[in-house]
A = this chain, B = another copy of it.
């Protein structure tokens, strides 16, 4: 099969026997001259890591790959030049499923350096697949006085429905706003009207392809960016610019895992996590696993693994004091993860265990809100 990219942006499959080579595939588009920047506008940093917002077609495979760098993004989205002037840095050009904790650390250091340099805000272009994980990781590693805005694109720039230009513009506006925390800025609806500003520790990609795939879980978005009027509105809950002093704590313990419980799961599967420093359980309901799992969890805890319970329901908080199996889990040494999203709990655990070697103190930190990831009470109705 040959894959043909249509002008509409869609791929179709054609039998190779039906194809005749007319001319070789085009080389990459020639690089345009750097766009002109207005020195009177605020200075923003764009750190590029790859993903669809920085992608074009790979004529070798017909698939979409990450090849653009930060300068290309300015060329692709000319409206950015009206909002700020930019320092651009290509940190990586990878699809975000290939992100690792080590790259999160490099990213946190790069953002830290840009803020130290004095930029008004930082934009991180990122693949959408794991953008929420990276935003959470940077949230824990970095105390920031200025906005750190992750932005991506659900549809590549070569598709008419691409969201890359509007998301990029809204990200730049958010990066100049009064925000003072790590956030994800993406389409708020399926229309090109507004982007939502999601807290980096409370956001999840909730659709494989929709442009409004990103949603705040457990709290409303901390702000919105109106595209037409170019205005940013922050909620009262948003952390404001200047609240925190710049600080970097970039240690991470990568030997942490996340496993979703399901009925009939073999307790033997937990043996794969022996020697891990941490394990997040994505339990059912209020935070449960089967009674059969508990002896093996006890073994892990006895072996020095910090085990934290979250819920695969994703909304609401765990409470292991209500039902028998929950109480047995607490007796086994499992820590309750409050209303943390399972993935955020994983990233937080990597950070906590990387920075705090005392198990009791690390346990307390896991149950304490550090960066808005763990609310004392869930917001009403969410």
Contact = CB atoms under 8 A, between A and B. Distances in A.
Contacts of A127: 285
Contact of A316 (B99, B134, B207, B272): B207
A206 interface: yes
A23 interface: no
A102 B327 CA distance: 25
Nearest to A346: B262
A210 interface: yes
A125 interface: no
Contacts of A111: none
Nearest to A293: B97
Chain A contact residues (Cβ within 8 angstroms of B): what range? 35 or more
A263 B313 contact: no
Interface stretch (A76-84, A143-151, A161-169, A251-259): A251-259
Interface in A126-145: 127-130, 133-134
A206 B322 CA distance: 19
Contacts of A285: 97, 127-129, 205, 208
Interface in A225-274: 254, 257-266, 268-269, 271-273
B317 A208 contact: yes
Nearest to A190: B381
A354 to B, nearest CB: 13
Contacts of A266: 257
A183 interface: no
Contact of A263 (B3, B130, B209): B130
Nearest to A213: B313
A140 to B, nearest CB: 14
A219 B63 CA distance: 30
Interface of A: 3, 11, 13, 58, 61, 63-65, 95-102, 104, 127-130, 133-134, 190, 205-210, 213, 254, 257-266, 268-269, 271-273, 282-292, 311, 313-319, 321-327, 342-343, 346, 381
